[in-house]
Structure 1
Amino acid sequence: MIIVHGCAVVPEAKLEEALRLSREHVARSRAEPGCLEHGVYLDPDVAGRLLFVEKWASEAALKQHFAVPESIAFVEAISAIASESPSLSMFSASEL
């Protein structure tokens, strides 16, 4: 299983737009083959900080997700309104 943790910080004036884009992206991603979990959450301690948590069945499924045109467009759109460069970390994991 692959776990992805992403983060984007957006200005308060762009938060509603970022949430709309993020929720659309999450809904699309959840329907993709190999997506086990995908969500976006607001950090209660940092204004405008969106946290993304994803679980994918395999590295191949995640690579396919990254290649979807809508995923590419989402990254471009969220990066354009973010106040700092978004971050993304990926981990290989197994359930205990």
Structure 2
Amino acid sequence: MIVVTGSVTARADSFDEVRKLSLKHVRRSRTEPGCISHAVHVDCENPLRLVFFEQWADRAVLLAHFAVPASRDFVRALQSLADQATSIELYEATRLERL
């Protein structure tokens, strides 16, 4: 499984638009093949920062997700609305056990 974390900090005047675009992106991404989970949350310490947490079946389906035109459009839109550079990190994960 591939775990993706990311974040964007919106400008105060663009937060509502960033939130709207992020929710649209998350809901669309959840319908893609290989998407296990995809969520966005508001950072409790910085209410202008949105944090993404995603789980994908494997690297191939994640790369397919990145290639979807709507995904590329989403990233470009965020960059124009962000106060700081966006971040994204990928991790390969294996479940050790379920408690």
TM tier, shorter chain? Answer: over 0.9
Q: What is the RMSD computed on CA atoms of the aligned residues? A: 0.5
Would the aligned equivalents of 1:12 and 1:47 in 2 still touch at CA under 8 Å?
no
SS in 2 for 1:12: coil
Matched residue, 1:35: 35
- Tell me, which stretches of 5 or more residues in structure 1 are unaligned? none
With the length of structure 2 as denominator, give the TM-score of the two structures: 0.95
Unaligned runs of 5+ residues in structure 2 are: none
Q: What is the DSSP-based 3-state SS (H/G/I as helix, E as strand, rest coil) of the residue aligned with 2:60?
A: helix
1:25-72 CA-partner distances (Å, limit 9, x unpaired): 001100000000000000010130000000000000000000000000
| Regions of 4+ moved over 3 Å | none
- Looking at CA atoms only, which structure, 1 or 2, has the larger radius of gyration? 2
Aligned to 1:75: 75
Question: Which structure shows the higher helix fraction?
Answer: 1
Q: Hey, what does 2:20 align to over in structure 1?
A: 20
User: What percent of counterpart residues are identical?
Assistant: 42
Question: How many positions carry a matched residue from both structures?
Answer: 96
Matches within 5 A, 1:42-57: 42-57=42-57
Distance 2:16 2:52 in 1: 16
- 2:66 aligns to what? 66
